[in-house]
Structure 1
Amino acid sequence: MPAPEQCADRMQCMELWGGNTSVSRAVTTPGLEVRVHSRPHAGAAGGGDVHYVSSCASGRITRLLLADVSGHGEDASRLALSLRDLMRANVNLIDHTQFVREMNRQFSSQLSTDRFATAVVCTYFSPKRSLQIGNAGHPPPLLYRAATGRWSQAEHNADDTDSDDPADFPFGVLPAADYSRLETRLDSGDLLLCFSDAFTESVDASGVPLGAAGLLRCVRQLDAAAPEQIVPELLDRLAGEHPDNLTQDDATVFLVRAVDSAPTLRDNLLAPLRLLGPVRDRSGVE
């Protein structure tokens, strides 16, 4: 079981947090509680799973990125830094689709041909409680609706784009790739679970891969009324199924919970001044 997380830290406006190091932590932004658990493979200082959370100048826009970059060591660290810089440069960009396309274009321009990253990118706009999800070849997240008490897969339709270009490729594979967008609303108590492929590649007691469907069945057995226990219990269940689960690769999971909070009047009034300054960087990359 992971070490108990401390009380959630409130992210400041114009701030970026995350990295590729080992962590079990909770942060809050207007309208969201975000829990992150990440463990690099074999106890390494840094891994190929990269996680970032950003808050815009007013706190109204929260972005989350979970990426699995190819390579290890210095290669993975360099790509993690590239993703950090892109998150920081686009922290105030409202248009989610434009953001994901720009991430791919800029990432592609910085890479050699044999490097890429799968990723899931989420943009939450607190005034409308709207959540937009972009998927670049990554395992699809899971959504829990408090109103129905049901988990389901957040699936994209790759044909639902604004162009005829191939869609939803990993970052760095095709610079001109387009990206579909799943847009939904998060009401209070709704949950979003994002994870790296170590979770879908886990196996049951017989050694049969869980896949996306098997992981969904496992998550449906957890108590959604106790969000602080979901990640620890999921890790324990998978470890109990087979000793190799989550030990053969980097393993990272985001749990996002919608709450009833909003940007303060002070944050809204100070937003124009914050735009003149830099993004506060609280990330760590090894």
Structure 2
Amino acid sequence: MHAEEFIKSPVLTGSIRRVLVVDDSQLQLKIVGLVLARWGFEVLTATSGPEALRICAETPPDLVLSDWMMPGMDGLELCRRFRALDREKYGYFILLTSKSEKGDVAQGLDAGADDFLTKPVNNHELRARINAGERLLAMQRELSVKNRHLSVALEELREIHKAIDNDLRQARTIQQSLVPERVAEIASSRVSLLLHPCGHVGGDLVGMFRHGGDRLGLYSIDVSGHGITSAMVTARVAGYLSSTFPEQNLALQTMPGNRFAMREPAETARLLNQRLAADPGVEEYLTLAYVAADLHSGNMRLVQAGHSPALLLRADGRIEWIGDGGLPIGLVEEVSYEQHEFRMASGDMLLLYSDGFTEAVMKDGTMLGEDGLARLFRESAATGSGPDLMEDMFWRLTSEMENSEKLGDDVSAALLEFDVL
């Protein structure tokens, strides 16, 4: 090194503070050490590989500047062992060598060296290589800091997600409680309910309420959207069709003597639409299929408000679709609804269902559709009844779906088996 180069070299500051110089030549150690000290580095020196490793273990350097050719442990082996040390921070390693063949360079890189300097060392080149190493270490340590911050943020997110997941599980339990009875025997008929949300909570609701010994209200509701907002709307609507508090049920009309009578289904839909449209802040709407059933005579009155048509499976195997549409509930303020009247005979089955059935995507890419639903209904009815029939339908549906492990929409249904007991 030349004296003028030594004097003109500026003091370096940054990520590299402590440098270990390793060389079996005392003269080379002194020259390089003086230059590095002049630049502001804390300089450590070692005359052999084992001594260098001991220093690295006790006082970890930011940079190691090691001769390649040394007796005993050479610079290549020192580099390998240096990389094997347990360090909190990355250490930069420069090999001093007279080797310039590509094979030698590749061998050094495989051992873990970051850079190379040819001997005799040029002062300007040494400074440039250290600057390059400093930039790399600065980026690595900045990345480490950011990774630590990211780890803290991820842990906080895990805790938040865990809390949300617990809340959603509790919300699912609450929503399931809106359907306290999944099967009921009324007079000589049987009602079964099925509810499978596509997430923790969903926007489907099925239910029933009784009035007198042989009067039944049966409904299937599908709120627009999914998730918590839809679930909150279903909870509110469940109160409007309460089976526990008849005075709050819009489908029942208060009569003299603290008695109740069932309203016409079309009037029930109108009142429900009026109530939902008037609720401030509620932008969701819902579709509804509601049946007022006389289980003594078999006379049925159905209102369909934007919901899928009811599916009637006659005892002789014939299929009838009942309903022709209508506007959803809560979409516009003033709506009138039409109702349909039909009669069920002994052994007939009536199915109210959400479009989670008919719009389910099958393995061939098509949707199940009404014909597919009718097929599933017939197949399940031939093998079982009541809640077993409903679960068999759901099993058949999911086994034919494109993704059998994840529902694309809530799936729900209400089944009335007339005069089967």
1:21 matched to 2:176? The reply is yes
1:153 matched to 2:315? The reply is no
1:86 matched to 2:240? The reply is yes
Cα drift, residue 31 of structure 1 = 4.4
Query: CA contact under 8 A between 1:187 and 1:258: conserved in structure 2?
Result: yes
Residues 167-191 of structure 1: CA distance to partner in whole angstroms, max 9, x if unpaired?
x111001222221211111222110
Query: CA contact under 8 A between 2:362 and 2:402: conserved in structure 1?
Result: no
TM (normalized to structure 2)?
0.50
1:66 matched to 2:220? The reply is yes
Give 2:295's match in structure 1, choosing from 126, 135, 140.
Answer: 126
Root-mean-square deviation (CA), in Å? 2.5
Q: What is the aligned partner in structure 2 of residue 205 from structure 1? A: 363
Counterparts of 1:243 and 1:205, CA distance in 2 = 4
Structure 1: runs of 5+ lacking an equivalent: 1-18, 159-167, 262-286
- Counting strand residues as a fraction of each chain, which structure ranks higher? 1
SS at match of 2:302: strand
Identity %: 26
Residues 244-271 of structure 1: CA distance to partner in whole angstroms, max 9, x if unpaired?
257122111111101267xxxxxxxxxx
Counterparts of 1:127 and 1:223, CA distance in 2 = 23
Residues 194-245 of structure 1: CA distance to partner in whole angstroms, max 9, x if unpaired?
1111101113331111222332233233334732342222222212212425
1:240 matched to 2:399? The reply is yes
Structure 2: runs of 5+ lacking an equivalent: 1-173, 243-248, 253-260
Q: What is the aligned partner in structure 2 of residue 53 from structure 1? A: 208
State the AA in 2 paired with 1:131. Answer: M
Structure of greater relative contact order (alpha carbons < 8 Å, 6+ residues apart): 1
Counterparts of 1:38 and 1:260, CA distance in 2 = 23
Counterparts of 1:180 and 1:69, CA distance in 2 = 20
SS at match of 1:21: helix
Number of equivalences? 229
- Are the structure 2 counterparts of residues 113 and 232 from structure 1 closer, same or farther at C-alpha, using a change threshold of 3 Å? closer
State the AA in 2 paired with 1:40. Answer: P
Q: How is 1:84-233 mapped onto 2 (pairs within 5 angstroms)?
A: 84-88=238-242, 89-90=249-250, 91=252, 92-110=261-279, 112=281, 114-146=283-315, 148-156=316-324, 168-224=326-382, 226-228=384-386, 229-233=388-392
TM (normalized to structure 1)?
0.71
- Counting helix residues as a fraction of each chain, which structure ranks higher? 2
Pick the structure with greater CA Rg. Answer: 2
Counterparts of 2:202 and 2:377, CA distance in 1 = 25
